[in-house]
Chain A
Amino acid sequence: MTQRERFDQLRDAFLDGVATQAETEELQTMLHASDDLLDDYIEHANQDAALIWNGIPEHPLPPVCPAEPAAGLSRLTRYLPLIAASLLFVAAAGWEWMTMQPRSVATILSSTDCHWGTGTLPTTVGQELTSGRLRLISGIAELQFPRATVSMEGPVDIELISAERCRLHSGSIVGSVSEGGEGFVVETPRAEITDRGTKFGVFVDNVGDARLDVMEGKVDVKHLGTGRQLTLEGTSRAFASVHALETFAPKQKSGGEQNGVLPASSDKVIHISSAYGDGDEGDVTSGERREGDSFPTPDHVLLVKRADSEPHWNRKAFIRFDLTGFDISELSSVELRLEGVHTGMGYTSLLPDSTFRVHGVKPEYNTDWNSKTLDRNNFPGRKPETHQLDPDKVELLGEFVIPQSKPQGQFVIADPRLLQFVQDNLGSTPTLVITRLTSVNQTQSYVHGFASRTHPTASPPTLRLHVKQTTTD
């Protein structure tokens, strides 16, 4: 471990309140020895303080087991009239909150292949839910409100506010309102949607922009930024960005980030992640070396890199999906969803926006690999005597771009070639390979990472299949 790494470790332990006396003294010695380390400590301590003080007011959450519920504040109020007025409000609101009995606002009607994230509500089917937050990482779940049904397709982050109101922070939902349910409201960061008796879909992307697809009936939509209100009827769409509410759909991208697509109402959607059945995944480094303890790789991440100046550090990720056991005859569309996660390896500033390629290993070259045996000499689609893919053994299924500024988040690849490949491989266990096309002649350029199926919070690689209903039911 370098001195710098040791410092980071001590600094974080101290800021997290878990440093021992000996570690505190070691940290002190370092602070006295270097102005750079001293500045770094102060910057991080200030940053932590700001996060404690400010929180994230735009994303309020109901409290979850507060550890130290403002113990000191009561002392403050005894002595200091200064903040009394504002505290009076807080106290009144707090008392009001405490005396309220939690009321059920919805029930989990069903869940299929659900992987739930950290939320504030239980996630058992049949469970009555009070107000709070649900995070569905993958799978499909249905919520039954008293007069509305909401289907969620992971990843979704939704907040249940009342029996008549919810807030969609990100992801896709489809709402159906039964008779008498008019007035059900879906809040999004940019617009508020009020159901007038209909079936509709809402997709909120990572920056909060929302798309509303009315499938039948009538919906009112109000833009929060401009106050503009629209009523949509029949099959129609609206798009709410930070500046405007428009009644036409935004330009569709063939791949890339924030490209969620709501299924056509006649389609059935199946999610298949690499964790399903005989699915598997792993990454391969072209060179002989692997990082050791002094340069550990992150856990639960599939690493992808290309640097022509250091080809021994090139990396590619392999993902196998189990498509056996599904009674599917025809697909209308297919998406590959990958979640970019921070790797801490290299610097994004040394890379431009990066293009990635998704290859499919041709069935005749797909080997019986697994994550334990996968290495640079043993991977499907390998060109003999090299550590590279053989262009004759794989086919290109699509490309996507990860912006330099945002290597994290959902990346969705929808391409006719991917659709055809998956269609051709139904009933088997095809392998996809992710490579980076973009290379820079820089050492220490960023190593991109995608969440693996074991990642504690992020979504695993997932295929979303839209199955034509006419042939399946």
Chain B
Amino acid sequence: MSFQANDAVKESTQQLMSNNDQATTEFIQLLTESQRSLFYYIHSLIPNRTDADEVLQETNLVLWREFERFEPGTNFRAWACTVALNQVRAFTSKRRAKRPHFDTETVMLISERQEKRSAYLQRRLDALEGCVQKLPERKRVFVEQRYRQGVPVENIAEEMGSSVDAVYKMLSRIREALHACVDRTLSLEGIRSNDPA
């Protein structure tokens, strides 16, 4: 992170401190709590970490700008997801030529389905952490590098002395192993995918 960004953070913090009424505090709390689920939601529509991050920030900006219109006690997440969906649609129409994205119809399809199954999906995410811990150490490190640190596949392949294709295959296998592990975990808990949300 650059010095400039560091200064920007300080400046923003001062703004935060000078605007500290109760509504703001509550709004900040709601927005903070929703960051993770908003990112997941956006990522399912634009599965690229940089693009999803950018849309999340644009969504945050809109939410922050419009927060006086939010009524405390109403469903913040639903409102935030609607804003995020609009931002995704704007982003994909703007960027379509740069990187393949889903069309609007598909984005709407995924969004609606995801909302319907949000409780089940949350159960899956709860189980995922345990499944990651069950991965062999090497695979956990691989997941750490590829997903959280965003190390390019090419760099990982070079470090491993392997081909890029082999790394993509490993990614697919890990993805599938985790998915299957979550399935088994939920099955043991008696949770089925078609249970009502």
Residues of A in contact with B (beta carbons under 8 Å apart): 8, 12, 14-21, 23-24, 28, 31-32, 35, 38-39, 41-56, 58-59, 61, 63-85, 87-88, 90-92, 94-95, 117-118, 133, 135, 157, 169-170, 206, 299, 342, 344, 349, 405-406, 408-409, 456-458
Contacts and interface: CB of A to CB of B under 8 A. Distances in A.
B120 to A, nearest CB: 9
Which residue, of A61, A70, A72, has the highest number of chain B Cβ atoms within 10 A? Answer: A72
A63 B39 CA distance: 22
Contacts of B143: 51, 55-56
Contacts of A72: 50, 53-54, 56-57
Contacts of B49: 52, 68
B64 A55 contact: no
Contacts of A84: 9, 12-13, 15-16
Contacts of B102: 24, 28
A48 B8 contact: no
A46 B160 CA distance: 27
Given A42-B121, A51-B132, A457-B160, A117 B138 contact: yes
Contacts of B15: 81, 84
B140 A66 contact: no
B144 A55 contact: yes
Interface string B130-163: 0011111110111111011111110110011110
Contact of B150 (A19, A47, A68, A406): A68
A74 B179 contact: no
B23 interface: no
Contacts of B70: none
Interface in B65-105: 99-103, 105
A290 B26 CA distance: 63
Contacts of A77: 5, 8-9, 12
A79 B57 contact: yes
Question: Which of the listed residues B4, B137, B168 has the most CB atoms from chain A within 10 Å of its own CB?
Answer: B137
Contacts of A35: 113
Given A35-B113, A83-B32, A157-B138, 8 more contacts: A52-B150, A53-B40, A54-B148, A55-B143, A66-B149, A67-B152, A118-B138, A456-B162
A233 B93 CA distance: 70
Contacts of A63: 149
Given A74-B8, A80-B57, A94 B175 contact: no
Interface residues of B, number: 91
Contacts of B53: 70-73
A31 B110 contact: yes
A457 B40 CA distance: 30
B144 A59 contact: yes
A28 B136 CA distance: 34
The residue among B5, B32, B56, B140 with the most chain A CB atoms within 10 A of its own CB is: B5
A21 B98 CA distance: 10
Main secondary structure of the interface of B (DSSP, over half): helix
Nearest to A56: B144
Contacts of B109: 31-32, 38
B25 to A, nearest CB: 11
Contacts of A117: 138
A41 to B, nearest CB: 7
Contacts of B22: none
B8 A46 contact: no
Contact of B47 (A45, A74, A78, A83): A45
A406 B12 contact: no
Contacts of A76: 56-57, 60
A18 B40 CA distance: 20
A53 to B, nearest CB: 6
A79 B59 CA distance: 11
Given A18-B168, A118-B159, A42 B57 contact: no
Contact of A66 (B28, B151, B162, B179): B151
13 contacts: A28-B103, A46-B40, A49-B47, A55-B148, A61-B141, A61-B149, A69-B150, A74-B5, A76-B57, A77-B5, A80-B64, A81-B19, A299-B166
B142 A118 contact: yes
Q: Sorted from nearest, which 3 A-B pairs have the closest CB atoms?
A: A55-B148, A81-B16, A49-B43
A90 B106 CA distance: 37
B162 A82 contact: no
B155 A64 contact: yes
B191 interface: no
A70 B57 CA distance: 12
Contacts of B137: 59, 157, 169-170, 206
Interface centre among A56, A85, A206, by most chain B C-beta atoms within 10 angstroms, is A56
Contacts of A95: 1, 3, 6
Contacts of A342: 173, 177
Given A46-B124, A68-B49, A456-B160, A80 B6 contact: no
